[in-house]
């Protein structure tokens, strides 16, 4: 999901009859990093470490009709939970406590419910759940890196299925690929893998996780969040968050030099002024609650595309070569962050 505070504010201003300046979504301060094989690249291309067949299989499954769009609290969501349970177990992740599932509940209020017939203003969600497991660090297990991705999507609307392949079955599949890598290459620090629920309804899973961390907050060093990482026709992926923590830029840059994906830094610190960034993604996905808690983050995602929040966001419409390349990049970023974390 890419609904930023800027976008929400713009909608409120429009609703109030105010004038809002429109921007080209690609405008603003963006830094492109050298890629492997590029004119300024200095590093040797890294070998592929991700099992692409497994990667694509995870997306195909989660975005299939049987999962019914994975809306929070629905049978499709429960089916996704069972799949996460199976995959976390296969990967040998350790749960915090007796189970991977971390249940939570919340109340959602919708402004649209005030003027849209049939849409409730207030909805109780009593059956949400995050799925969380970890791989213990071999050198500094007391320091934690959280790799996150939300598994929920929009479900059905007026009978129309929204499969959510890119948003965000792709992020979950990438998370699982990173977990598989660290299972074979034990990390120095403890790596937590968090599949969040309720992102599409206000980042609810990430908020619940931050509010009830299973370890001291002071030991949480970094969040790597993946949301929409499989669909871009320009071979571009954005990394947001380094403007808040400049020391993370070399982590992304080092990994980017070993891969053929065009990595761009930006979409943080957006402004409502002409010539500023068109969008601020600081609070657009599950990294937002981490940032609000003072935790450094790097968020990876593509810019919005024609299938974003549409019924056409299907497995068939993701860009498989691009996705495979991005997944390998994300594994490299996670490994580099683990290796260089102070």
Residue from 215, 188, 204, 179 nearest 96 by CA: 215
In tens digits, the chain (342 residues) has pLDDT values of 655 444 444 443 333 333 222 223 333 466 787 776 654 444 568 889 999 999 999 999 999 999 999 999 999 999 999 999 999 999 999 999 999 999 999 998 777 655 666 666 688 999 999 999 999 999 999 999 999 999 999 999 999 999 999 999 999 999 999 999 999 999 999 999 999 999 999 999 999 999 999 999 999 999 999 999 999 999 999 999 999 999 999 999 999 999 999 999 988 875 554 555 457 899 999 999 999 999 999 999 999 999 999 999 999 999 999 999 999 999 999 999 999 998
Q: Which domains does the chain have, with CATH numbers?
A: 5-340 (3.40.630.10)
Asked if 199 and 168 touch (Cβ cutoff 8 Å), the reply is: yes
Q: Which long-range contacts (CB under 8 A, 24 or more apart) does 106-113 make?
A: 106/198, 106/201, 106/202, 106/204, 106/208, 108/201, 108/202, 108/204
């Amino acid at each position: 999901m890419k609904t930023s505070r800027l976008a929400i504010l713009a909608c409120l201003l429009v609703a109030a009859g105010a004038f809002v300046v429109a921007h080209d979504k690609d405008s603003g301060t963006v830094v492109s990093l050298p890629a492997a094989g590029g004119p300024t690249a200095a590093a040797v291309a890294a070998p592929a470490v991700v099992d692409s067949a497994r990667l694509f299989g995870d997306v195909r499954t989660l975005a299939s009709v049987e999962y019914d769009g994975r809306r929070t609290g629905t049978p499709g969501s429960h089916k996704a939970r069972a799949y996460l349970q199976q995959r976390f177990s296969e990967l040998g992740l350790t749960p915090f406590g007796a189970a991977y599932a971390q249940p939570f509940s919340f109340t959602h209020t919708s402004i649209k419910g005030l003027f849209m017939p049939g849409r409730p203003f207030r909805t109780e969600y009593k059956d949400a759940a995050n799925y969380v497991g970890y791989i213990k660090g071999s050198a500094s297990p007391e320091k934690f890196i959280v790799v996150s991705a939300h598994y929920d999507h929009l479900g059905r609307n007026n009978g129309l299925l929204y499969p959510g392949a890119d948003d965000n079955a792709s992020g979950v599949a990438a998370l699982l690929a990173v977990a598989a890598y660290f299972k074979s290459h034990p990390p120095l620090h403890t790596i937590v893998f968090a599949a969040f629920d309720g992102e599409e309804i206000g980042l609810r899973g990430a908020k619940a996780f931050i509010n009830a961390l299973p370890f001291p907050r002071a030991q949480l060093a970094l969040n790597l969040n993946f949301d929409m990482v499989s669909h871009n026709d320009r071979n571009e992926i954005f990394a947001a968050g380094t403007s808040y923590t400049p020391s993370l830029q070399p982590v992304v840059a080092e990994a980017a030099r070993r891969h053929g994906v065009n990595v761009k830094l930006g979409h943080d610190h957006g402004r409502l002024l002409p010539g500023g960034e068109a969008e601020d993604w600081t609070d657009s996905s599950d990294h937002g609650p981490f940032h609000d808690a003072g935790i450094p983050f790097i968020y990876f995602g593509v810019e919005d595309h024609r299938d974003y929040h549409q019924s056409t966001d299907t497995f068939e419409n993701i860009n498989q070569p691009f996705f495979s390349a991005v997944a390998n990049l994300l594994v490299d970023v996670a490994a580099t962050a683990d290796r260089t974390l102070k």
